[in-house]
Copies of this chain bind each other. A is one copy, B any other.
Amino acid sequence: MAVPLSSAKFHTSILTQSLPSSSSRSFSVGKRFCCSSSSTSMEHHESKFKEFPYASVPHRELMVELVSTVENRLGESLLPCTLPSHVQYFENESATAHASLYVRSGNSSSQVDFILGSWVHCNLPTGGALNITSLSVYLRPSTDAPNFLIEVIQSSPTTLILILDLPPRKDLVQHPDYLKTFYEETQLDKQRQLLEKLPEVKPYFSSSLYIRALVSPSAILVSIETDPSQAIRIDEIIQDHISPVAKVMLDTWLNLCACTERRLTDDESKDLAKRDQIIKNKTIEIDLESSFPRLFGQQVANQVLGVLREIYNS
């Protein structure tokens, strides 16, 4: 779906409060774009994405495991990542913000449209850093099954926001059978309830109403805050609680959504394609168009967003 890198809107408050405006700076993108002039091979960048170099150990292990699980399960139905190197890795002029994107499209017979992974790291003026990692998988209109989404936002060693969901691709109010199949019978809400039980966990409300409307009624949108004296507790929560929940949800999605055929009529597929496209356009608008210029400068943002728009519209 939606919210591949929702760095922006999901975290508007942090970004708004913490980041200096970059609008008045001039960027020499051609020179500063990549990490270093020697870092141009696709292999390097691809492995760079999977390194999640700024994430904590359990955060990194979680993301690596999820990406590997998706890639192993979907196997050869995924084409190699062909993003230009300056989109696979980019940073701002002052090298205080870094990001990596990773996109693999499904082959023509796959139900997968594309997977999109990302990480963003950004130094905060307060001395800390913002680390965002995400993985989304978008399906094609040959199936109406939900997409997959995880996003982990850490703005300090003791605070974390988690968005984890199988975002629906149909209006659940009009399609109670769809709700039953993908959300009630799978008992996904039990996973949300597992996290809700932890005293450090609170429901999280995105500042974007559109994002709130996009997610399913069993979506996990939580903020986690631990005592500042117990920074290690966040790591424990990721490892012992978030990780098993994320794996259950990904397995459910792989079995029921990515790897199960759904028979749709031509009209159904047409309606679905229209709805999918609205979601993609709104996601780029809400999620990235406001934050990327601020994080990376207008010129870098334009180039990265240009490539993403092509993928979202192909």
Q: How many residues of A contact B (CB 8 A)?
A: 23
Compute how far the CA of A209 lies from the CA of B187 in the bound complex, rounded to whole angstroms: 10
Q: Could you say which residues of chain B place their CB within 8 Å of the CB of A210? A: 172-173, 176, 179, 217
Q: Mark A213-228, 1 if CB is under 8 A from B, else 0.
A: 1101110000000000
A262 located at the interface, meaning its Cβ lies under 8 Å from any Cβ of chain B in the complex = no
**In the complex, what residue of chain B is closest to A218 when comparing beta carbons?**
B209
A184 located at the interface, meaning its Cβ lies under 8 Å from any Cβ of chain B in the complex = yes
**In the complex, what residue of chain B is closest to A189 when comparing beta carbons?**
B209
9-residue interface stretch from A31-39, A49-57, A122-130, A275-283: A275-283
Chain B proximity of A215: nearest CB distance (Å): 9
Q: Which of B176, B212, B214, B274 contacts A282 (CB 8 A)?
A: B176
Chain B proximity of A263: nearest CB distance (Å): 22
Compute how far the CA of A278 lies from the CA of B176 in the bound complex, rounded to whole angstroms: 9
Q: Which of B189, B203, B213, B218 contacts A173 (CB 8 A)?
A: B213
Q: Which of B179, B209, B212, B278 contacts A209 (CB 8 A)?
A: B179
Q: Are A209 and B217 in contact (CB under 8 A)?
A: yes
Compute how far the CA of A276 lies from the CA of B282 in the bound complex, rounded to whole angstroms: 26
Compute how far the CA of A212 lies from the CA of B171 in the bound complex, rounded to whole angstroms: 13
A314 located at the interface, meaning its Cβ lies under 8 Å from any Cβ of chain B in the complex = no
Considering residues A189, A210, A214, A274, which has the most beta carbons from chain B within 10 angstroms of its beta carbon?
Answer: A210
Q: Could you say which residues of chain B place their CB within 8 Å of the CB of A218? A: 209, 212
A312 located at the interface, meaning its Cβ lies under 8 Å from any Cβ of chain B in the complex = no
Q: Which of B173, B179, B183, B216 contacts A171 (CB 8 A)?
A: B173
Q: Are A183 and B203 in contact (CB under 8 A)?
A: no
Q: Mark A168-183, 1 if CB is under 8 A from B, else 0.
A: 0001111010010001
Q: Are B173 and A275 in contact (CB under 8 A)?
A: yes
**In the complex, what residue of chain B is closest to A183 when comparing beta carbons?**
B209
Take A217-B209, A217-B212 as given contacts and tell me if A278 and B189 are in contact as well, using a CB distance cutoff of 8 Å. no
Q: Which A residues between 275 and 309 are near B, CB-CB below 8 angstroms?
A: 275, 278-279, 282
